[in-house]
Amino acid sequence: VRGTRDTQMMRVARWPRGVLLAMAPVAALQVRGLGGGVRRARVECAVQGPDGKAPKLLVLGGTGYLGREVVRRAVRRGYKVTSLSRRGANPQAGDPLMDTVTWVAGDATESATIRPLVREADAVVHAVGLLFDSASGLDNLNLIVSGSGSKPAEDSTYDRVTRLTAFNAIEAAADKPRLPFSKRTPFIFVSAAEAGWPDVQFGDVVEGRLAPEWLKRYLVAKRQVEAKLNELSSTLRPVIYRPSLIWSPTKFDVLPIIPVFNLASALGVPFVDRTVRVGTLADAIVAGLADDDVQGVQRFPEIDQLAATLRKP
């Protein structure tokens, strides 16, 4: 990741009334609980915003399975993070890193909610999504497969949850006033490996003949967002991540199928990508935010490479 390697730390003390007080630069972020115990978390100020201060990052869907991992890593990297989600509550309250985040409850399908948050941000990550929308007939399964126990509302279609929320944020970011010759605003979108099926051998056949209708609608929404980002690449720096299955050791619903995907990918099946651990994807997203040379589609090899750069000492 390009940028300064200087590392600065903050000490934060939690007073009985919950007021956080920045004390002085030290080697760790310290949070003192009501019981008097102190916990530490390493914060690396490895990035800078346009004004030389900590850059401001807006994460849409920051309470979700992937979003919370992005938030954690971005805070550790030195970003000042705001999360917008339907729930809005800190999913890991009491965690010294996560407690520094501004957690906002709101509806990203409403442009009036999105615009003021985007206006204040130096970069945006769109991690909003769902596998089964309300029209799929399978929406109750999201309680199992979402990773964060999310259940879609009755109007939670792919068009609204994926396309509309992303379009609202993209348009708001593109409309921001900017100085001549200023850098493009990084905009991260989490798409899907299957969105690239038209570009690989037999992918169009799999999608046209084998894919269920809900998956086709899912991919339509993802591709519409990708196209919108590319249209506005003169003012935005689009970074489009296309992971296959995203997993972690505790996400039991996908663990049985992980070896199948990985084996098919290793054998060269062109329309199956290797799976990606959620932490690896989150690392890659934060790395992509800071590197001005990163743009366009990132499949699993690029995701691995970007994640590795973030982990370098």
Question: pLDDT digit string (tens) for 256-288?
Answer: 999 999 999 999 999 999 999 999 999 999 999
Lowest-confidence range among 125-134, 147-156, 168-177, 219-228?
A: 147-156
Residue among 286, 237, 285 at smallest CA distance from 77: 286
Collect all residues with Cβ–Cβ distance below 8 Å to 3 and sequence separation of at least 6.
46, 47, 48, 290
The predicted structure's pLDDT at residue 199: 96
State percent of the chain over pLDDT 70.
80
The Cα–Cα gap between 279 and 298 comes to 16
List beta partners, residue 84: 60, 104
The Cα–Cα gap between 74 and 114 comes to 20
The Cα–Cα gap between 306 and 52 comes to 24
The predicted structure's pLDDT at residue 249: 94
Confidence of residue 56 (pLDDT cuts 50, 70, 90): very high
The terminus-to-terminus CA distance of the chain in angstroms comes to: 11
pTM of the model: 0.84
Q: Which helix (H) or strand (E) holds 13?
A: strand 10-14
Q: At what angle do helices 111-119 and 165-174 cross, to 10 degrees?
A: 40
Confidence of residue 172 (pLDDT cuts 50, 70, 90): very high
The predicted structure's pLDDT at residue 20: 33
Confidence of residue 222 (pLDDT cuts 50, 70, 90): very high
Strand ranges for 141-279 from DSSP E:
185-190, 236-241, 246-247, 276-277
Contact by Cβ (8 Å): 57, 48:
no
